[in-house]
């Protein structure tokens, strides 16, 4: 085995299909130095010109979108012609939308005494650490606002899915000045070294709460700026007046998209007792009919879990629910084939103490929980250390909107879930993170405020 590389696993087979260059801590130092050297010129580049670079990056990605989608599908597992192609399309849209943003200059006072302005300035070198569920799209979420704001970037993708992110950076560097965007892949503490590195001014991380805490601790001695989008265990509450025949398809899609491997997917579904059984059976029918398979097969609708650790966790959560008397209306056991395949699973008759309810499953298993009173459902939904997203489903939009505002989460949806916009802030409360992404709110996370007071 080459010590300077590591294996990348195809989750549809469980076997290695490629090798990826392995960066060292010493290489991190030289990469950060290159980013620091490039920063002053990039920061001084007018924002309109930086925006044109983003537009050029999008154009370059578009010419490579098919090959990039194939690589993404192979290493992540998602279906090629739907989910993988859709991720690349979303990355293009997000890049172009980000290029339109312009940070404001706030005028606080302008009179005979003084003029007071608030300006926004780039921070310096931004470290991006990305997860394995959306390797291209989340990299774009991190990179593009950082660059537009005038920062240089060092990105480390997940070692489970490094190849499509490295390819994205390679494409972007066709149009960017040298040193503005840099990438390193590796294992064995590289991310922690980035959080501690004195040459890095900010860390943006998407991933687990436990890793986020570790990054925060590493960043503390140098007081780095942080944006942490961490674990979510999103609750959806379906009211008694929700039309099952209208909402079931959307709830199903928002729970099982990307095989449930989405931070803001529906992961706990509280359903009023009046319609619980009807909705449970509708969702179970859809789960039983779903085609689960390798991402390169045309008939596949849902791919495998991305890695063995996540596959093992989902199996454990299903077994815990079974021992607690959970009733599986669909799925519930891993498929008997190579790779990390778990069928779409609907389980009922579990309580809030079951692991599949308390823990973020991040996989294709959805627990349905009965409730009688909506105040009780809200209390149960909010009784989580996480607070990324939540939703209310009802025919009464006014009532649903009032209830949505009582959810303890960063984003609350009505008759929807996990739909994001490049212009609307997205982030968590409680243990689901610090800071926000997207739009002017997210762009501001990559800049510092400078007050300019001009005395007259």
pLDDT of residue 187: 80
- Report yes or no: 346 and 331 within 8 Å, Cβ to Cβ: yes
pLDDT of residue 69: 98
116 forms beta bridges with 109, 453
Strands laid side by side in the 106-110 sheet:
106-110, 114-122, 447-455
The token duo for 271 is: 């359903």
Quickly count: other Cβ atoms within 10 Å of residue 230's Cβ.
27
Whole-angstrom distance, CA of residue 364 vs CA of residue 387: 20
The token duo for 133 is: 């569920």
Query: Rounded to the nearest 5°, which phi and psi values hold at 414?
Result: -120, 125
Whole-angstrom distance, CA of residue 112 vs CA of residue 349: 70
Whole-angstrom distance, CA of residue 454 vs CA of residue 444: 24
- Report yes or no: 333 and 314 within 8 Å, Cβ to Cβ: no
Quickly count: other Cβ atoms within 10 Å of residue 119's Cβ.
14
* Biggest CA pair distance of the chain: 78
List, by residue number, the catalytic residues.
229, 263
Whole-angstrom distance, CA of residue 198 vs CA of residue 200: 5
Instruction: For residue 49, give every residue at least 6 positions away whose Cβ sits within 8 Å of its Cβ, in sequence order, or none.
Output: none
The token duo for 51 is: 């925006």
- Taking each helix axis as running N to C, give the angle between helix 47-63 and helix 137-148, from 0 to 180 degrees, rounded to the nearest 10: 160
pLDDT of residue 2: 41
Torsion of CA 368, 370, 376, 377, to 10 degrees: 30
pLDDT of residue 188: 74
Element (H, E) at 88: helix 85-99
The model's pTM: 0.97
Whole-angstrom distance, CA of residue 411 vs CA of residue 368: 21
- Report yes or no: 139 and 182 within 8 Å, Cβ to Cβ: no
Walk along the chain (456 residues) in steps of 10 and give the mean pLDDT of each run: 81 98 95 98 98 98 98 98 98 98 98 98 98 98 98 98 98 98 92 97 97 97 98 97 98 98 98 98 98 98 98 98 98 98 98 97 98 98 98 98 98 98 98 98 98 98
Whole-angstrom distance, CA of residue 62 vs CA of residue 76: 20
Instruction: For residue 287, give every residue at least 6 positions away whose Cβ sits within 8 Å of its Cβ, in sequence order, or none.
Output: 252, 256, 329, 330, 331, 343, 344, 345, 346
Q: What are the strands, taking DSSP E only, across 50-209?
A: 106-110, 114-122, 125-129, 152-156, 181-183, 202-206
Question: Distances from the Cα of 338 to the Cαs of 6, 12, 13, 308, in angstroms?
Answer: 21, 7, 5, 11
Smallest Cα–Cα separation from 216: which of 152, 129, 327? Answer: 129
Question: What domains can you pick out in the chain, each with its CATH number?
Answer: 5-230+430-455 (3.40.605.10), 235-414 (3.40.309.10)
């Amino acid at each position: 085995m080459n010590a300077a590389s590591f294996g990348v696993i195809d989750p549809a087979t469980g076997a290695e299909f490629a090798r990826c260059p392995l960066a060292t801590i010493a290489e991190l130092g030289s990469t950060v130095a290159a980013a620091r050297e490039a920063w002053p010129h990039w920061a001084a580049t007018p924002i309109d010109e930086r925006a044109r670079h983003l537009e050029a990056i999008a154009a370059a990605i578009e010419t490579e979108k098919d090959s990039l989608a194939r690589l993404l599908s192979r290493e992540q597992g998602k279906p090629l012609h739907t989910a993988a192609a859709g991720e690349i399309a979303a990355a293009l849209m997000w890049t172009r939308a980000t290029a339109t943003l312009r940070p404001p200059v706030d005028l606080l006072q302008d009179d005979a005494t003084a003029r007071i302005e608030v300006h926004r300035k780039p921070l310096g070198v931004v470290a991006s650490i990305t997860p394995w569920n959306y390797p291209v799209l989340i990299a774009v979420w991190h990179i593009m606002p950082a660059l537009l704001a005038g920062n240089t970037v060092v990105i480390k993708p997940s070692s489970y899915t490094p190849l499509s992110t490295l390819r994205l950076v390679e494409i972007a560097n066709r149009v960017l000045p040298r040193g503005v965007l840099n990438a390193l892949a590796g294992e064995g503490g590289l991310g922690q070294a980035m959080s501690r590195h004195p040459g890095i001014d900010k860390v943006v991380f998407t991933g687990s709460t436990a890793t986020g805490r570790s990054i925060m601790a590493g960043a503390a001695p140098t007081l780095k700026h942080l944006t942490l989008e961490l674990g979510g265990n999103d609750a959806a509450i379906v009211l008694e007046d929700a039309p099952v025949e209208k909402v079931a398809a959307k709830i199903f899609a928002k729970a099982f998209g990307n095989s449930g491997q989405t931070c803001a997917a529906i992961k706990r579904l509280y359903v009023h007792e009046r319609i619980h059984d009807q909705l449970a059976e509708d969702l179970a029918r859809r789960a039983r009919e779903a085609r689960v398979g390798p991402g390169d097969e045309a008939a596949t609708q849902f791919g495998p879990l991305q890695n063995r650790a996540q596959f093992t966790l989902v199996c454990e959560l299903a077994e815990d629910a079974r021992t607690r008397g959970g009733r599986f209306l669909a799925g519930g056991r891993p498929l008997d084939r190579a790779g990390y395949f778990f069928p779409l699973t609907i389980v009922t008759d579990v309580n809030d103490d079951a692991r599949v309810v308390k823990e973020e499953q991040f996989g294709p298993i959805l627990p349905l929980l009965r409730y009688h009173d909506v105040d009780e459902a809200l209390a149960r939904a909010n009784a989580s250390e996480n607070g990324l997203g939540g939703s209310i489903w009802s025919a009464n939009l006014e009532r649903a909107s009032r209830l949505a505002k009582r959810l303890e989460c960063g984003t609350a949806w009505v008759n929807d879930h996990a739909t994001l916009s490049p212009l609307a802030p997205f982030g968590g409360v409680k243990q689901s993170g610090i800071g926000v992404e997207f739009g002017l709110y997210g762009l501001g996370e990559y800049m510092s405020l400078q007050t300019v007071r001009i005395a007259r």
